[in-house]
Structure 1
Amino acid sequence: MFERLGKAKYVVPLVLGIVVACVMSVMFYPMANMEMKGLPFAVLSLDEGVETPQGTMNVGETMIEGITSSTATEDGEESPIAWAKVGSQEELDEALENGEYYGALVVPADFSAQQMAAKQAETQASLAQAQALMAAQAQAQAAAAAAGGAAAGDQAAAMAAMTAGGDASTGDQAAAMAAAASGATAAGGDQAAALAAAGQAGSSDQAAALAALAGQSETATEAEEVEAPALKVIIDKAKSPLVASQMGTSISSMFQQMGVDVDVETIHTGSAAGDDAASANPMSGMVSLQLAIMPLFMVSMMTGLFLSRIFKKKPGEPSAARWQSIGIQAAYAVAASLIVSLCAYCMLLWVAGIEAPMGAIVPFMWLASFCVMLLFIGAFNISTGLGALLAVIGFALGMMTGTFPFEALPVFWQDWVYPWAPQRFMSEGIRAILYLDAGAWNVGSAPLVIVGAVGAVLACIAALIPGKKVAKEAAAA
């Protein structure tokens, strides 16, 4: 075939390289431009409110109204989370089971009551602390004033004695000096007594201050014993492991910055191994899915091409022979798809470390692989160009739909690729088995059967189209 191209055959490797580069660029475009926006997240307030002198106060309803009204950022761009208010716990449970939301924010029934109790305890603790400090300061000032008065009285008595000694005769100077000396000694003794009294008063004040601080500590301890109100955040891992890992952390941080505690609960965790690694590294969940989806799709596509070439219809053969050729291809596809599904299961088990239930995931991947094979068998039997075009479009555009959630894809992928991509249905079925304990027939099975039905229709069209030789003979006749 290459000999018929002449010198143009030297350009074929360059053209193939350009085509492969373009296909890979298109395939990884959604990953390079991934942006989480508009993720549906339910919000439910069970808060019963609390009665105050000013009327009923419901902090939960106020918070819900504030959250749901702020669905856009200040610059007008879409918020990462699209909050949707639900009316009851039953409505929320049903929506989460149906996979309508990535998670939910629930305000407990006693949220307002707990918040008021915490505020009252905090106010009482602050008031008690202020009163204790004021009492300690008053005692210290009184003790300092008493100590200062005693010292001033002793100094005045000593000065009076010295003045009387100076007015006496020279003969009495010795007696005056003695009196002054004894007065000085007495003054020294009185000063010592005053200092001792002041020291005792200071010690008493220190004891009072320590007692006040102890009372403050007890009051603070009592305030801490009042349970702070906490919100409940529910994360659905089955909806998207990548989103679950990111949202559980970001929502908790957002409310903790507001001073509100958050209790995070993850639902639909499944029993597959590797969940701890997925929680620690959000990208590991994405890689695990790709280890199943990418080889399953690519090998099924290549096998469909090979079967259509190996058992292709021959020019000039009758209609019965063409139908027989299609039947042989389909029969081989049944066996080949089973082998492909077993290989994909081994990759999940040995490479990703996911111990998925073999009785459910192998039959599901068997069905998915057979339907994809049948699609490409029919396309390549009609025309090699049609099969190649379908293969390029399916691989380049559809691969990331099996990894990223709908809201993270670019608009073109959301509108034109996501509704039909087989990789999306493969991902939904595998996640249903891993996280929802679903069986082989699950949410992804019926859409894949439709894909296989399209392939069967294409194969029937190919069987009805006569070969080139027969067509030429019919035209000549």
Structure 2
Amino acid sequence: MFDFDKLGKKTLIAPFVLVIALRCVLCLAVAPLLRADPHDISLAIVNLDDGTTTPVGAVNAGEVLASQLTGEESQAAQESTETLAKLTAMKAAAASGAAAATNGAAATESSEAPNLVAVTSSDSAASTNGAVEAAEGAADSGLAAAAAAAASGAAAVPDTASAQAASGAETDDADATSAATSASSSMADALTWATLDSEADLDQRLEDNSLFDGIVIPADFTARQLAAASNPADKPQLTVYLNMGKNPQVANSLQTAMAQSLASAGIDADIQMVNTADVGGGMMAGLIAAQMMVMPLLVMTLSSSIVLSLLTWRRDAWDLRARSPWLTAGTQAAFIVALSALIAAFALLIDVTAGGLDLPAGQLFCWLWLGCACVMLAFVGLTDACLPVGALFAITVFAVGMGTAMLPAELMPTFWADWVFPWAPQAHLGQGVRTIVHCGQNPGMADAGPLMVFAVIGIAALLLAAGLATAKSAKAKDTAPAAA
């Protein structure tokens, strides 16, 4: 053990060094949470729209919507866009003619003699009625424009200032509006869309937790767009599926964004949450349950690992009287199995007792036990092989990986997403917890695999430490007779 008496008066600065070190550790722990940067948020769209035929061509509003969302221009979308442009021009011309005829009739009525009033009024009525009929015949344009607006609106959270202007609302807080718009644009830029062929394919991907969100355009989307011209109650309705199992935070953000976007575009949305979990507790329980389980698990794992190594692996004990290093390594392995089970139970009990959550305790216990044992093997093995390396490794894993238990890689800053999330045990433990709680499934190798790597590293380090200790003991035996 280290003798602090050797430092003399320098030990007085130890508390300050400790505070600075803890500050660095905590900065690394909270940095990804405070600097969340959405990117590559995977969504999918299924277009079932049958489209319709107008006097100037075929229209498929669903194709236009899907094309603008995904950024993939199709031939059907191009043709529909051209048809919509023609219909828009027709409606504008019809409306302009109606206005001109009405204005002309009013001017004639006020300036001409009474004997011309009946004739002028009759001509005006005929012109107006014709214009109205033309406008009704070209009503497709307004509905098609709504479809285009829906496409741009669904691809991004709507501009708050524009939405308020359109509805006649006013705001006294321009700064808040600007901030909200900026955040919305950031989320919109982060979305990546894929086009799927069927709802069955979408359901499978949501079940596999490979998507955050899915949108289904119904078969009557274009038809209801057209019908809404005469009856607004017939406006189309999309089905939006939000995956709580992928990540509750992202699902809640997308729910607000999608509802506002589609509403501002005049399209109803049936928003459905999939992979939900009623765990009880307070309003934040579903959002932070995984974090509140993984964080204490890692804290107990880190501290127990270092203490276990220091108590059972004495570097000055491998002499002629020392017990076998291999026996000590085996004893440590047995302790790891027992301690990891105890730590997993305690981490689970924290959520159950303190939070009052209703959780699948059996599955969660086995998963947390596996994860804790794998990580503890790495911590203990590396600390046995080299104390400074083991301690630094354990603290680094705790510090840089803690934020990954709550947020997905798609919300992490670039460094954490590319270099930390793939191996951080907290990330895979947290996702495994969500898979169990929200999807009712056992975690797959995508999450168990990285934990197994920690176990392999730990076993290799234990074998290395035992080998080095054996060599040291043998060398001590060889030099003992010469010393005598």
TM-score (norm: length of structure 2): 0.71
Measured at CA, do residues 330 and 40 of structure 1 come closer, stay the same or move farther in structure 2, by a change above 3 Å? same
Cross-structure match for 2:292: 291
Quote how far apart the aligned CAs of 1:442 are. 6.8
Alpha-carbon shift at residue 316 of structure 1 (Å): 1.9
| CA deviation vs aligned residue, 1:161-203 (integer Å, no higher than 9, x gap) | xxxxxxxxxxxxxxxxxxxxxxxxxxxxxxxxxxxxxxxxxxx
Query: Root-mean-square deviation (CA), in Å?
Result: 2.6
User: How much has 1:318 moved relative to structure 2?
Assistant: 8.3
Change over 3 Å in CA distance of 1:312–1:52 after alignment to 2: same
Paired position in structure 2 for 1:151? none
Q: Give the letter aligned to residue 268 of structure 1.
A: N
Note if 1:116 corresponds to 2:243.
Answer: no
- Give the C-alpha shift of residue 472 in structure 1: 6.5
Q: Return the offset for 1:473.
A: 6.9
User: Are 1:95 and 2:226 counterparts?
Assistant: no
> CA offset at residue 438 of structure 1?
1.6
Residue among 244, 264, 272 paired with 1:265: 272
Following superposition, the deviation at residue 103 of structure 1 comes to: 0.9
In structure 2, do the counterparts of structure 1 residues 232 and 474 end up closer, same or farther at CA, with 3 Å as the change threshold? farther
- Alpha-carbon distance between aligned partners in 2 of 1:422 and 1:395, rounded to the nearest angstrom: 9
**Pairwise CA distance, 1:94:** 2.4
**Which residue of the partner structure matches residue 407 of structure 1?**
410
Per the alignment, residue 52 of structure 2 pairs with 50
Gaps of 5+ in 2: 72-151, 160-181
Distance 1:319 1:65, change over 3 A: farther
Q: Which has the larger radius of gyration?
A: 1
Displacement, 1:261? 1.0
Counterpart residue number, 1:7: 9
1:352 aligns with 2:355: yes
Amino acid at match of 1:81: L
Q: 2:225 is matched by which residue type in structure 1?
A: Q
Partner Cα separation in structure 1 for residue 35 and residue 13 of structure 2? 33
Structure 1 counterpart of 2:258, from 248, 251, 263: 251
Deviations 1:394-432 (A, max 9, x none): 011111111111111111111211111111110111011
1:443 Cα deviation after fit? 5.1
Give CA-to-partner distance per residue, 1:264-287, whole Å, 9 cap, x none. 01111135334x824xxxxx5443
Shift of 1:91: 2.4
SS of 1:277's equivalent?
coil
Judged with a 3 Å threshold, the aligned counterparts in structure 2 of structure 1 residues 471 and 302 are, in CA distance, closer, same or farther, namely farther
The secondary structure found in structure 1 opposite 2:422 is coil
Answer yes or no: is the 8 Å Cα contact 2:29–2:403 preserved in 1: yes
Q: What does 1:134-145 align with in structure 2 at a 5 Å threshold?
A: none
- Say whether 1:448 aligns with 2:451: yes
C-alpha change, 1:113 and 1:337, in structure 2 (3 Å) is: same
Classify 1:310/1:441 alpha carbon distance in 2 versus 1 (closer, same or farther; 3 Å): farther
Quick one: which amino acid aligns to residue 57 of structure 1?
Answer: V
* Aligned-pair CA distance for 1:98: 2.0
Percent identical = 31
Kept in 1, the 8 Å contact 2:199–2:216? The answer is no
Give the structure 2 partner of residue 312 of structure 1.
Answer: 313
**Structure 1's 410 and 429: CA in aligned 2 closer, same or farther, altered over 3 A?**
same
Q: Is the 8 A contact 1:236 1:268 kept in 2?
A: yes
Q: Secondary structure at the match of 1:459?
A: helix
Report how many aligned residue pairs link the two structures: 368
Partner residue of 2:216? Answer: 106
1:328 maps to 331
- How does the TM-score come out when normalised to structure 1? 0.72
1:64 maps to 66
Runs of 4+ in 1 over 3 A off after TM superposition: 70-78, 317-320, 439-443, 467-477
Per-residue CA deviation, residues 193-250 of structure 1 (Å, 9 max, x unaligned), is xxxxxxxxxxxxxxxxxxxxxxxxxxxxxx36x5321111110000001111111111
Range 237-246 or range 332-341, more displaced: 332-341
SS at match of 2:313: coil
